Amino acid sequence: MNKAHRNLIGAVLGVVAVTASGCASTGTVATSQAPVAAQAERITSLEDSVKTMRQELQQRSMQVEEERKAAEKARQAAAAAQQTTPVKPAGGFTELLPPNAKPGECYARVFIPPTYKTSSERMLAHDSVVNLQIVPAQYRWGQERVLVREASQQIEVVPATYEWVEERVMVQPASTRLEQAPAVYETVTEKVLDQPAHQVWKAGRGPIEKINEATGEIMCLVDVPATYKTVERRVLKTPATTREVPIPAEYETVRRRKVKTPATTRTIDIPAEYETVRVRQLASPPQEKRTVTPASYQTVTKSELATEGRMEWRSILCETNTTPTVVSDIQRALGRAGFNPGPIDGVIGRRTLAAVKAYQQAKGLSQGGLTQETLKSLGIMAGTR
């Protein structure tokens, strides 16, 4: 960021500071005639503008630095190409070489700083404000009769009265019960068939004896008579029956408590209660006094960007097209201007180039080498060899 950029940011920040201080320099209680929201919006807008300009300047500075590095690489590449290859004829330059170059001249891409124009603008320093002064209320002490308990009513219950009486009461009502007559049984004997008559086969013997297992077997069919047995069994003689037996009611004489007169209620009035207390009473209400402070203006000078910085090919002095005498003259001129180039030895060394760069930045000149513009500013004849 160069000096012009810093001046521009300083001017804008000054405008914001003046506006903010104007908005803040009110009385103890102050209200602006313009809406507070409008003032806040104006301050926010100015802050956004400053923030945007800072970002743009930062981006531009980064872009210029990148272009400078690219130019330095291009210069080194061009110097290497001149040392190793012959110069190409007109029309054969690449983008890395300067156009319309002259034999015996050295060129470099230098940064042409941006230019700015200064303008003045009458701006509002602070709006008209209304100073509001509050006159507090005045109070005095007095006495006042206040209600501490409101009138009310109390309901009182009159209890009931009782007496003792004797009464004959039934403790068990009349009823009936069923009695059961059991069934009557008798034992009888009876002859029953045990096994019916039947026939069975039995082995027999005869005159023919058994010769082998297949002959001589004799079987006889025999009648078996039926058999009987005597059993006893219990049979019902008369079935079971029921009969209904009456049960008389039962009574007792009891003594019990009986309501003689029922409970009642009555209403008792309780009067209100008052007390005299010491209270703080308003003597005069609060008031407000307004005084108007008129708006004030100031003239602000600000810088605006006229042309942006750029990179251009410019003719410069280098070891190819200069002499130690010219370099010594440049070193002495830098020393007189307050920029130390190191020893006056006629050599373009690191300290001499640093002094040249510092001189160019201070004077707002093109930066990137010993340009003709720099030589003219130092009072060195451009055509000196």
Give the mean pLDDT of 192-220.
70
Mean pLDDT for all residues in the chain: 75
Distance CA 104, CA 321 (A): 6
Residue 271 is predicted with a pLDDT of 92
- pTM for the structure as a whole: 0.28
Give the SS3 label for residue 333: helix
Closest to 119 in 3D by CA, of 364, 298, 297, 304: 304
Q: What is the DSSP letter of 6?
A: H
Q: Which residue reads 């206040």 in tokens? A: 146
- Per-residue pLDDT, 339: 92
Q: How confident is the model at residue 170 (pLDDT cuts 50, 70, 90)?
A: confident
Q: Pairing mode, if any, of strands 106-112 and 310-317?
A: antiparallel
Q: In one letter, which amino acid is 51? A: K
Tens digit of each residue's pLDDT (9 = 90 or more) over 265-283: 989 999 988 988 888 888 8
Q: How far is CA 71 from each of CA 107, 287, 308, rounded to the nearest angstrom?
A: 11, 74, 18
Q: Which two tokens stand for residue 191?
A: 């002859």
CA 191 to chain centre: 110
64 pLDDT more than 70: yes
298, 316 contact by CB (below 8 A): no
For residue 21, pLDDT over 50 is answered with: no
User: pLDDT tens for residues 182-193?
Assistant: 888 888 888 888
Architecture of domain 322-385: Orthogonal Bundle (1.10)
Q: What is the pLDDT of residues 307-341, one digit of tens each?
A: 766 676 766 666 666 788 888 888 899 999 999 98
- For residue 33, pLDDT over 80 is answered with no
Question: Does residue 139 register a pLDDT over 60?
Answer: yes
Range 149-167 average pLDDT = 88
List, by residue range, all CATH 1.10.101 domains of the chain. Answer: 322-385
DSSP result, 43-82: HHHHHHHHHHHHHHHHHHHHHHHHHHHHHHHHHHHHHHHH
Q: pLDDT: is 341 or 113 the higher one? A: 341
**Residue 187 is encoded by which pair of tokens?**
């034992």
CB atoms within 10 A of CB 26: 17
- What pLDDT does residue 318 have? 63
Confidence of residue 226 (pLDDT cuts 50, 70, 90): confident
Please say whether the dihedral angle defined by the alpha carbons of residues 318, 320, 321 and 324, taken in this order, is positive or negative. positive
3-state SS, residue 91: coil
Contacts of 84 (CB under 8 A, 6+ apart): none
Whole-number Cα distances in Å, 25 to 19, 54, 232: 10, 28, 138
pLDDT band at 106 (very low <50, low <70, confident <90, very high): low
